[in-house]
Structure 1
Amino acid sequence: MILITGATGHLGYLTLIELLKEKSASEIAVLARKVSDKTKEIAALGVEVRIGEYANKESLLKAFNGIKTLFFVSTHEAAQDFTVHKNVIDAAVNSNVQSIVYTSTQGEKSLGKNNPEGAADMHALTEEAIKQSGLNYSILRNAPYMESLPMILGEKVLTEGYAMPMGNGKLSFATRQDMAIGSAKVLSKNEHDHKTYEFGSTASVGFNEVMEILSELTGKNLEYNPINPETYEQQSKEAGIPEMYIQANLGFAAQVRGGYFDHPTQDLANILGREPVSVEDFLKETYGR
């Protein structure tokens, strides 16, 4: 049996739906923290819902009973307390789970000590703990979600362009849907044991290119302005943006400038058997109506 964690979230739920195309509902279970409308929707598909949470190892031991393969969706809570991820790995070992498929972050450089995003250390620790557990494993290093692009660009992008301290950095975005399809294919076959995949697009895209695509779609001259971090911080404070959001955005921008997401890869394309959705096609679908 395959257990999907995070199944009430975007990636987990999409992976469940794709896995149901490969396996029968009786071969799949999901883990949720509590009963909700989403878990009721999942149960209506014939999928067993098991209650447990990463911070409660006893609940995991019960939930993992009889599970062969675990789809381990990472949580940012582990960036503050790695114990929550260690609980999952230990419970899997103690419950005789045979294989873990873990959602990590894209690019080996992203797991380095110089990464401005603290969650990278969490992923590095988790990957190493999984490899040391003795279980079979597959590591899926996911790119930034393409669906986050409209939020990154903001509501005024089609009238004012885009200003952000991303420098000339590029990202190899991929859609959640493509990642979910790839994840389901990895979960349904044994041929992916002890392999690490970069789940991103085959070409990286910078924000100059994004604005060129949007300019073509709208007929406007939309530009990307790579302002410096200090200017962004000052403008954001003047606009009344909360400090926690300013710092989060600065951290992401520093990652982009540093090339932490610039990892074009054939891995996802090879598993899908086709090219992943491109940024150009996504922008046409999102803004070209």
Structure 2
Amino acid sequence: MTIVVTGATGHLGRLTVDALLERGVPAAEIRAAGRSAERLAPFAARGVQTAVIDFEKPETLDAAFADASALLLVSGSEVGKRVEQHRNAIEAAARAGVGRLVYTSAPRATDTDLVLAPEHAETERILAASGLPVTILRNNWYTENYAGQVDTAAASGELVGSAGEGRVASASRKDYAEAAAEVLVGDGHEGAVYELSGDVAWTFDDLAAAIGDLLGREVSYRSVSPEEHARILTAAGLDEGTAGFVVALDGNIREGALAEATPTLSELIGRPTTPLAQGLAEARERDAAA
């Protein structure tokens, strides 16, 4: 048995390898795959197999996926390139006869206006046509995505956005990684599509309060219009494309695209998901130690 984890040098992939080891999977039966041999070296030091891969170079994938009883395809990070990259990985998995493929997708990927969803939806369609046994993990937002807001709030005492009263049912990456590990080693997950989220959907007022508690000072959320938000972001140095993406995402949140809190994640990992304040504090501690 070999379990392959792609994106192993990234946050979610690395945490999934850790979770597999914690569940007693022998290191020699895990293959950590990523782009950088240097960043894969710590896995090798722990006895984990490693493979240097590039989704844009299909010839690097066949050996990496050989003999895999299960493969975690962590979605790529390059927006606009992911469909072709994922297609290459799925085709290589099919050639290798991978026992089961687990893919990290987006919430309600095939039925949402979420700005990030189209590439995930297309990947899910490719998977459906691949003939492979598949499990889809539709991960909601990562709490760590807001860790950078802590420094902003420390300087200004406020968070600024156009999400209005929208809610986000986030969880920590470690929560999602534990779920991925459970699905990779567990039975009965073939064909499942899991909508994963934190147990609680919080507002941006809640986020401001959690950051304020962490900093030991008052932090408020200033809700602005999308147009004003775009102006603020470009004035801060973001290019128009990036600013437009951030504003579009806040619009999705305002309209409820990330608000659904389901019990599925906590059921898979056998514990409550990490609360917002704890997730932010742990992210800050990791950043300080890095």
* Shared fold, TM over 0.5: yes
CA distance in 1, matches of 2:284, 2:73: 34
Deviations along 1:15-53, whole A, 9 cap, x unmatched? 0011012210111112122411x2111111111112221
- Retained in 2: the 8 A contact 1:217–1:287? no
- How many equivalent pairs are there? 283
> What corresponds to 1:208 in structure 2?
205
Look up the match of 1:62: 63
Given residue 43 of structure 2, which amino acid in structure 1 is its aligned partner?
I
Over the residues paired in the alignment, what is the CA RMSD in angstroms?
Answer: 2.3
User: What is the distance in 2 between the residues matched to 1:184 and 1:245?
Assistant: 33
Opposite residue 5 of structure 1, the aligned amino acid is T
Distance 2:215 2:80 in 1: 40
What is the rounded CA distance, in whole Å, between the counterparts of 2:86 and 2:284 in structure 1? 38
Corresponding residue for residue 32 of structure 1: 34
Amino acid of the residue matched to residue 195 of structure 2?
A: E
Residue ranges of structure 2 left out of the alignment (5+ in a row): 286-290
Aligned to 2:6: 5
> 1:105 maps to which residue?
106
Q: 1:213 to 1:56 in 2, by over 3 A?
A: closer
Hey, what's the Cα distance between the residues in 1 that align with 2:88 and 2:283?
40
TM-score by length of 2: 0.89
- Preserved CA contact (<8 Å) 2:29 2:49: no
Query: Matches of residues 79-228 of structure 1 in structure 2 within 5 Å?
Result: 79-80=80-81, 82-106=83-107, 108=108, 110-112=109-111, 114-115=113-114, 117=115, 119-152=116-149, 154-157=151-154, 159-215=156-212, 220-228=217-225
Q: Flag structure 1 segments of 5+ consecutive residues without an equivalent.
A: none
With 143-152 and 92-101 compared, the bigger mean Cα shift is at: 143-152
Q: Partner of 1:269: helix, strand, or coil?
A: helix
Answer yes or no: is 1:260 the counterpart of 2:262: no
Distance 2:208 2:112 in 1: 32
| Structure 1 residue 283, shift from structure 2 partner | 4.7
Q: Secondary structure at the match of 2:131?
A: coil
- Bigger mean CA deviation after superposition, 275-284 or 199-208: 275-284
Normalised TM-score (structure 1): 0.89
CA separation of 1:214 and 1:59: change in aligned 2, threshold 3 A: closer
* C-alpha contact 1:29 1:50 (8 A) present in aligned 2: yes
Q: Is the 2:76–2:82 contact (alpha carbons within 8 Å) kept by the matching residues of 1?
A: no
CA drift at 1:221:
4.6
Q: Percent sequence identity over matched residues?
A: 29
Q: 1:283 to 1:74 in 2, by over 3 A?
A: closer
